Chains A and B, each alone.
Chain A
Amino acid sequence: MKKTCDNYAPEDMSRFVDNELPPNLHREFAQHLIHCPSCSRVVEQYRSITSVFSGHADQEVLKIDGIKLKQKLEKSLQNSEKTTFGNVFGLLGKNIYLKLASITAILMISLFAFQGSLFGPSGPSAIVKSVNTDFTSVMIIETQKEKHTIIWFSET
Chain B
Amino acid sequence: MNKSDAIADNITEQDLVERLKNGQQWAFNNLVKTYQDRLLKIAYGITLDREDSLEVVQDVFISVFKNIQTFRQDASLATWLRKITINQCLNWKRKWKRRFKWSHDVIESENDKQLFKENKKNNDPEMLFREKQFEKNLMNAIKTLPEKIRLVLVLNAFEGLSYDEIAKTLNIKKGTVSSRLHFARKSLVELLEINN
B88 interface residue, CB < 8 Å from A?
no
The answer on a CB contact under 8 Å between B66 and A52 is no
Query: What is the CB-to-nearest-CB distance from B2 to chain A, in angstroms, rounded to a whole number?
Result: 15
Q: Which A9-44 residues have C-beta < 8 A from chain B?
A: 10-11, 13-15, 17-18, 20, 41-42, 44
Bound-state Cα–Cα, A49 to B37, Å: 21
Chain A nearest CB, measured from B77 CB (Å): 17
| B81 CB within 8 Å of chain A | no
Which of A15, A53, A61 touches B178 (beta carbons < 8 Å)?
A: A15
A57 part of interface (Cβ distance < 8 Å): yes
CB contacts (< 8 Å) of A69 on chain B: these are: 32, 58, 61-62
Give the interface SS of chain B, mostly helix, strand, loop or mixed: helix
- Residues in B neighbouring A73, C-beta threshold 8 A: 28, 61-62, 65
Whether, in the assembled complex, A129 has its beta carbon less than 8 Å from a beta carbon of chain B, the answer is no
Among A15, A49, A62, the residue within 8 A (CB) of B138 is A49
Q: Is residue B71 contacting chain A, with contact meaning CB distance below 8 A?
A: no
In the complex, how many residues of chain B place their beta carbon closer than 8 angstroms to a beta carbon of chain A?
43
Asked whether any CB of chain B lies closer than 8 Å to the CB of A72, the reply is yes
Cβ of B53 under 8 Å from chain A = yes
Residues 46-76 of A, flagged 1 when their CB comes within 8 A of B and 0 if not, give 1011111111111011111010111011001
B36 to chain A, nearest CB (A): 5
For the complex formed, measure the closest distance between the CB of A140 and the CB atoms of chain B, giving whole angstroms.
Answer: 59
Which of B8-16, B89-97, B100-108, B156-164 is found at the contact surface with chain A? Answer: B156-164
Is A45's beta carbon under 8 Å from chain B?
Answer: yes
Q: Does B142 contact A (CB under 8 A)?
A: yes
CA distance in complex: A10, B186 (Å) = 9
Q: Which chain A residue shows the least CB distance to B63?
A: A76
Question: Does any Cβ of A come within 8 Å of B40's Cβ?
Answer: yes
B50 partner residues in chain A, CB cutoff 8 A: 60-62
B181 x A18 contact (CB < 8 A):
yes
| Interface residue A101 (Cβ < 8 Å from any Cβ of B) | no
- The interface residues of chain B lying within 8 Å CB-to-CB of A13 are 182
Residues on A with C-beta less than 8 A from B65 are: 73
Closest Cβ–Cβ distance, residue B57 to chain A (whole Å): 7
Residues of A within 8 Å of B186, CB to CB, are 10, 14
Known A-B contacts A60-B50, A77-B66, A80-B66; the reply to A20 vs B119 at CB < 8 A is no
Partner of A57, one of B36, B45, B61, B156: B45
Contacts of B115 in A (CB 8 A): 48
**Partner of B179 from A11, A45, A63, A68 at Cβ < 8 Å:** A11
- 9 closest Cβ pairs, A-B complex: A14-B182, A61-B40, A11-B182, A50-B157, A45-B116, A48-B119, A46-B185, A48-B116, A62-B54
Q: Which residues of B contact A (CB under 8 A)?
A: 25, 28-29, 32, 36-37, 40-41, 44-45, 50-51, 53-54, 57-58, 61-62, 65-66, 115-117, 119, 134-135, 138-139, 142, 153, 156-158, 162-163, 178-179, 181-182, 185-186, 188-189
Given A44-B117, A48-B119, A76-B66: 5 more A-B contacts, CB < 8 Å: A44-B116, A45-B189, A61-B53, A64-B58, A69-B62
- The residues of A with any CB-CB pair to B shorter than 8 Å are 10-11, 13-15, 17-18, 20, 41-42, 44-46, 48-58, 60-64, 66, 68-70, 72-73, 76-77, 80
